[in-house]
Structure 1
């Protein structure tokens, strides 16, 4: 293996480690929705866990928490705090979803790696498939930024859960 090939392999390994951290951080933060379900629905944490696990997508779990926050009787300050967290989490989901729904291609000529999105994008009159993005320094920096924002979001979720005395 040439030094250049080793460097490219190391870059891809760094990328994979960052994707692992991204998935861990996402799952860790998403699990905090259990406390929000319990607090907003007025149930204990065990019931909230069953509800959380029954909903099998992040989007469904976020939708539930958003809808519970909008229920009559939820004070506006609480509603707004929860909705802001859910909006911020939804924004951060885009990068995670991109890298969790792709395959990776390696160019043997120059050693570059790219992510190919395995999703169909429906447009008005056509479809698009196979969107390709290089895995380069910009991609790694974008993952680092998202990881930092997820860490901040996690702390904000905990603060709101404590502020409104959700079951912990």
Structure 2
């Protein structure tokens, strides 16, 4: 049996997911510099704070709350919040592939992800969202990797421009 049109090599897709995770983790770790700069602490203490906050959401919340303090200039606040917003926009795709299982047809082809998360709606539960792992999914991951690389560069530029600890 041949692969469906738009089908991808699953091993190649897993390599893309690995690159996405590397890009995510590398970029998320830069929040240490934003925590240090916004709070006035040194990088070592900011690292302890970063590692104590054990979720991405908590780390981003910390940065955003520090940025919203009255002592932070409006331009600085806007710049930081724009960066955290960009990171947040990439989280859904990252979470999709980090909180899923992978399934195949009876021939071991046509891979798809099945999200292992429950969405609690007003009058029902939704679970097991299925996404085909096709050329479009691979392109979405490539685009996310590119955006994370761009965010990474922009955080470093912000750290430099604002004289945050590097």
* Structure 1 equivalent of residue 137 of structure 2: 139
**In the alignment, what sits opposite 2:81?**
83
Which of 33, 36, 42 is matched with 1:35 structurally? 33
After superposition, residues 85-164 of structure 1 pair within 5 angstroms as 85-109=83-107, 111-164=109-162
More helix by share: 1
Cα deviation 1:90-144 (Å, max 9, x = unaligned): 0011100110000000112471111000000111100011010000001001001
Shift of 1:72: 1.2
TM-score normalised by the chain length of structure 2? 0.95
Q: State how far apart, in whole Å, the 1-side matches of 2:8 and 2:69 are.
A: 50
Q: Does 1:16 align with 2:17?
A: no
Give the gaps of 5 or more residues in structure 1. none
Q: Which residue does the alignment assign to 1:52?
A: 50
User: What secondary structure, in the 3-state scheme, does the structure 1 residue paired with 2:72 have?
Assistant: coil
**Counterpart-to-counterpart distance in 1, 2:136 and 2:104:** 17
1:10 is displaced (CA, Å) by: 7.1
Report if aligned partners of 2:101, 2:114 keep a CA contact under 8 Å in 1. yes
Q: Which runs of 5+ in 2 are unaligned?
A: none
| Runs of 4 or more above 4 Å deviation | none
Aligned CA RMSD, in angstroms, stands at 1.7
CA deviation profile, 1:17-71 (whole Å, cap 9, x unmatched): 0000000000000000000000001000000000000000001000000000001
> What number of residue pairs does the alignment pair up?
164
Contact (CA 8 Å) 2:8, 2:135: kept in 1 or not?
A: no
